Structure 1
Amino acid sequence: MNKLSVTTKVDPRDAKLSMAHFHVAFIALALGGFAGLLQVLVRSGTFELPFGITYYQVLTVHGVLLGLILTTFFIIGFQFAAISRTAGTLSNKARLIGWIGFWTMTLGTAMAATMVLLNEASVLFTFYAPLMAHPIFYIGLTLVIVGSWLSSGAMLSSYIGWRKQNPGKVSPLLSFMVVVNTLLWLVATIGVAATVLFQMLPLSLGMVDSINVLVSRTLFWYFGHPLVYFWLLPAYMCWYVVIPKIIGGKIFSDSLARMSFILFLLFSIPVGFHHQLTEPGIDPAWKFLQVILTFLVVIPSLMTAFSMFGMFENYGRSKGAKGLFGWFKKLPWGDARFVVPFIGMVAFIPAGAGGLVNASNQLNQVIHNTIWVTGHFHLTLATSVVLTFFGIAYWLIPHLTGRVLTKKMNKLAIIQACVWAIGMTFMSGSMHLAGLLGAPRRSSYSTYGDSQTAIDWIPYQIGQAIGGSILFIGIILVLIIFINLSFFAPKGEQEFPIGEMAEEAEKTPMVFENWKIWIGLTIVLILFAYTIPFIDMIQNAPPGSKGYKFW
């Protein structure tokens, strides 16, 4: 068999590489989820941390392990499996580079996590200056990024190999989507790598006395906003390509799916200023420009919603559905592979609406730095994305391990998703409401003590604690299912579902495969949105902030 030929099953050697990433991801879920439980209990004022553990220590553990480690390892593991399934078995060289990337990321994770657990790096998920961590923390983060670059190179090489062997042909849709998300990650991580290597690390090592804080925050959010789409696009891969096969329908439009991914690549990176709307030092005109670019990301999101619900309706009609919403009853509500991601899709409706509030210059003034933002974050990442990841795991892990999703585990998975939805309704809902009352993010009950302000927030903090406790039960259920599917489920063949194109769909144009155009446009937009503001930040830095000779 040709090493790049397309198969219906992921090669066992590639499966081991994917599973290694999943093991780290679910360990991060267990530890980060427990830290999250402690966090909401402390915030409610009903619990005090023992053994000298600090609130910001568990907050950092929760944010870093779930926001960075769980997501990055899961996405890379999923994308390796997707490339192997659709573009063909990885070459020996690509697989070796993938393993080197995995161990580099794992070493970096261990280094960073150790510093956080030792309370030497309680700098939160965003690690803003002037908060400062131990140098080993920054070295660990650097290794995670470098390892992800190696894995990205391995994936891209497999795609390039497919293109060489199939000149003039449109690449498999899932492989194309992996390439877009990988390119987004490579471009975005340049920002965080720059601030860590050239600002944070020298400062923590004592090589410099100060850094330009505004430049540091700008570089972080150059990375921080596209990071959201790095999380989201693998969920979109499942929605566009996998869900149609699971329900027995057809992919609505290959061209529309590719265009939506290209638009995410173009418009998700040059928009970091909308996280910095209240910060001085950035000209309002440039903030306004990036707010406009941020709102343009709504277009591919609406395209995705149109495509998904169009596919659902077409499927329902083919099964005899009548009326405006008759198709809804025809969907496979007993199949966890569909139900779990579908709940994530539905959650993205209020999550997207909240995102519009965050990105609006006027409305952002109301909720900026309040716990509303945390609630929004938990609707997007911790519900839409994570539930879809769980849905992927419920068929991909048994596919990779040569086992099957039993009826018992399928039922437990649906229960888990319902538990998650209930818990998140309590927790995220309470966060949104408390945020509208001005409750700040990243704060504990002890920050305000018995003041009237703190007393007014108590009902919402208790709601967060209730929701967080229910979510932790959901995490326990996920871990039970993961362990079962990895080691104890019956041996068998579990499908890696790849949807087929609808017969009436238009032919996909080859322009989508012209990466010179799309990468070039991405670079132009980034330079247009950041060059002048960045120069201004350096030239007009306030006294005492130019400690590092370059910035």
Structure 2
Amino acid sequence: MTNYTTAQMLAPNTKVDKKDAKLVLANMIWVAFALLIGGTAGLLQTLVRSGHFELPFGIGYYQLLTLHGVILALVMTFFFIMGFQIAALSRTSGPLNKKERTLGWIGFWVMTIGTLMSATMIALNEASVLYTFYAPLQAHVIHYIGLALVIVGTWISVAGQMMRYFRWRRENKGQKTPLLSYMTAVNNLMWYVCTIGVASTVLFQFVPWSLGLVETINITLSRTLFWYFGHALVYFWLLPAYMVWYAVTPKILGAKGFSDNLARLSFVLFLFFSIPVGIHHQLVDPGIDAFWKGLQVVLTFMVIVPSLMTAFSMFAVFETYGRNKGATGLLDWFKKLPWTDARFVLLFIGMLFFIPGGLGGIINASGQMNQLVHNTIWIVGHFHITVGAPVILTYFAAMMFLLPHLTGRKIDKIANRLGLMLAYTWALGMGIMSAAMHFAGLRGAPRRSTFSEYGGAEVAEEWITYQVMQAVGGSFLFIAIIIAILLFLKLVTGPKVNDVEEFPVAEFMDQYDPAVKWVDNWRLLIIITAFLVLIAYTVPITQMFTENIPGAKGFKLW
């Protein structure tokens, strides 16, 4: 195995290329816009559910619910991930060439067109089908085509990113690839594999059906193809946050990361076990044999391993940092952490939210416990403290150093103070709202429904307190969104400086140790990923075509 010299391991540059920066910034502008629109829709939902607010201008509740899901869960996250990954590649592997950057711009504009198409149909109330777009709910065909274009746009952008990664490998044979570039490639490979499911169901089922070319649709197949994509989607959101945790956080602290090789291994395990697990979202669905549900539950629990590896790595960094600052007691290191640095506080609060989020995920994926919470607002609460806290707060932290780095500015005291206000306000709002959702879900409150649909005074009385708490939490979250927008504007419009904010990238304790060879063997990684997917899905999907199972043959529209 090859030993690497210090010169070989140093990144070729310390800044994002100026031409790449324009592409990254274009994506980040969409993030801010989507956050404001989606956040407003979320606030209105909580107010409606409280029973003390009616929507004006004939706006429908499910219209808002669809907008909230699509614009935040898909549009905002996709644009951030494309922008951040391009920045990470440019920072650690060097500038994109003209072809790679052009693919990034084409992907950006295809995503933009798709977003506008979908948003138009939602605004016209022609696509109130939620972001999961379950049949038999049917949207206008333009909505489905728009969502397909958003996915295609990511494929095009990812193609440019993968070209940059493999070009670095060709130009630097025998060297360990920069960690952030490696992580980006793993996340992109997972994305290509998992989006086969949603692309297939949209193009071959929903588009023909919405055009009236076919009369029926295989509901079980459509749900299965969606969740083949849908659970990996969660890790597509999460892995960029893990990139920041592993590769950026230690540098923010002024410390070294725990283990470069462990970080790579954790990402490989996420690649293997993030896709063949979607059926655990369908534990109560007919048409899928119990054995295959059980198998995918086991595979789901395998994801706990890289999650625990990440937790161990990060808290090892925190404790080491604290010890170096003079901490001696069991937990004294906690007080030594940089609690006045908004970048760190945003990250750390997000990590803390992931602890109850992970525990809730274990419950959701467990067959019998899932029966209690399935299709209740508990699921919504879980979704918000996994995606709406760890992921989004880490995205905010990333934008704090990324935006001024791209525009030639510096984080000043006002920006840092806004970042701290954002972290604590977001944590307060999300804590109140998600706790209310979890407690209401344990008492049977349904997800997606409005207060007026609950029916029965006794039932409504039992849930009313939790609905009001949701509105309170949602209000704090909306205040936090306003702070985030102000922070965004502050970071991109302040005075330019010579000492530009850095894009921090950490070194690791094992920085110059050789890479584990099989972890860098992309052919092997693809074969193992494909094998696990085939094992988990071949028989269940075959049965949906060959066996007379309730729900598998579709339905008649009339």
TM-score by length of 1: 0.97
**Aligned match of 2:504:** 497
Amino acid at match of 1:315: Y
**Aligned match of 1:386:** 392
- Tell me, in whole angstroms, the C-alpha distance in 2 between the residues paired with 1:272 and 1:307: 27
Contact 2:256/2:509, CA 8 A, preserved across alignment = yes
Does residue 532 (structure 1) correspond to residue 539 (structure 2)? The answer is: yes
- Tell me, in whole angstroms, the C-alpha distance in 2 between the residues paired with 1:61 and 1:438: 25
- Superposed displacement of residue 448, structure 1: 2.0
Listed as ranges, the gaps of 5+ residues in structure 1 are none
Q: What are the within-5 Å matches in structure 2 for residues 110-509 of structure 1?
A: 110-492=116-498, 493-502=500-509, 506-509=513-516
Percent of aligned pairs with the same amino acid:
59
Contact 1:123/1:133, CA 8 A, preserved across alignment = yes
- Equivalent pairs, count: 545
CA deviation map 1:308-349 (0-9, x unaligned): 001111111122210111111221111111111110001100
Contact 2:287/2:552, CA 8 A, preserved across alignment = no
- Tell me, in whole angstroms, the C-alpha distance in 2 between the residues paired with 1:466 and 1:27: 23
Q: What are the within-5 Å matches in structure 2 for residues 22-33 of structure 1?
A: 22-33=28-39
- Superposed displacement of residue 503, structure 1: 5.5
**Aligned match of 1:513:** 520
Find 1:65's aligned residue among 66, 71, 82: 71
- Tell me, in whole angstroms, the C-alpha distance in 2 between the residues paired with 1:545 and 1:289: 20
- Superposed displacement of residue 541, structure 1: 4.4
- Superposed displacement of residue 509, structure 1: 2.0
For the residue of structure 1 that corresponds to 2:227, the secondary structure is helix
Q: Runs of 4 or more off by more than 4 Å in structure 1?
A: 503-506, 541-548
- Superposed displacement of residue 543, structure 1: 8.2
- Tell me, in whole angstroms, the C-alpha distance in 2 between the residues paired with 1:363 and 1:99: 46
**Aligned match of 2:7:** none
**Aligned match of 2:90:** 84
Contact 1:210/1:544, CA 8 A, preserved across alignment = no
For the residue of structure 1 that corresponds to 2:432, the secondary structure is helix
**Aligned match of 2:5:** none
Amino acid at match of 1:56: Y
For the residue of structure 2 that corresponds to 1:52, the secondary structure is coil
- Superposed displacement of residue 546, structure 1: 4.7
CA deviation map 1:403-449 (0-9, x unaligned): 11111110111111100000011100000000000001000001124
- Shift of the 470–161 alpha-carbon distance from structure 1 to 2, 3 Å rule, reads same
- Shift of the 170–506 alpha-carbon distance from structure 1 to 2, 3 Å rule, reads closer
Higher deviation after alignment, 362-371 or 494-503: 494-503
Higher deviation after alignment, 447-456 or 360-369: 447-456
CA RMSD of aligned residues (A): 1.5
- Tell me, in whole angstroms, the C-alpha distance in 2 between the residues paired with 1:320 and 1:467: 38
Amino acid at match of 2:247: V
- Superposed displacement of residue 510, structure 1: 2.8
- Tell me, in whole angstroms, the C-alpha distance in 1 between the residues paired with 2:250 and 2:244: 9
- Tell me, in whole angstroms, the C-alpha distance in 2 between the residues paired with 1:180 and 1:384: 20
CA deviation map 1:178-206 (0-9, x unaligned): 00111111111110000000000000000
CA deviation map 1:116-162 (0-9, x unaligned): 01100000010001110000001101110111000000000000110
Amino acid at match of 1:531: T
- Tell me, in whole angstroms, the C-alpha distance in 2 between the residues paired with 1:300 and 1:204: 41
- Superposed displacement of residue 542, structure 1: 5.0
Amino acid at match of 1:151: S
Contact 2:219/2:551, CA 8 A, preserved across alignment = no
Contact 1:406/1:489, CA 8 A, preserved across alignment = no
For the residue of structure 2 that corresponds to 1:7, the secondary structure is coil
Contact 2:261/2:510, CA 8 A, preserved across alignment = no
- Superposed displacement of residue 85, structure 1: 0.4
- Shift of the 544–377 alpha-carbon distance from structure 1 to 2, 3 Å rule, reads closer
Amino acid at match of 1:339: V
- Tell me, in whole angstroms, the C-alpha distance in 2 between the residues paired with 1:320 and 1:299: 32
- Tell me, in whole angstroms, the C-alpha distance in 1 between the residues paired with 2:159 and 2:373: 39
Listed as ranges, the gaps of 5+ residues in structure 2 are 1-9
TM-score by length of 2: 0.96
- Tell me, in whole angstroms, the C-alpha distance in 2 between the residues paired with 1:95 and 1:465: 43
**Aligned match of 1:6:** 12
- Tell me, in whole angstroms, the C-alpha distance in 2 between the residues paired with 1:403 and 1:504: 30
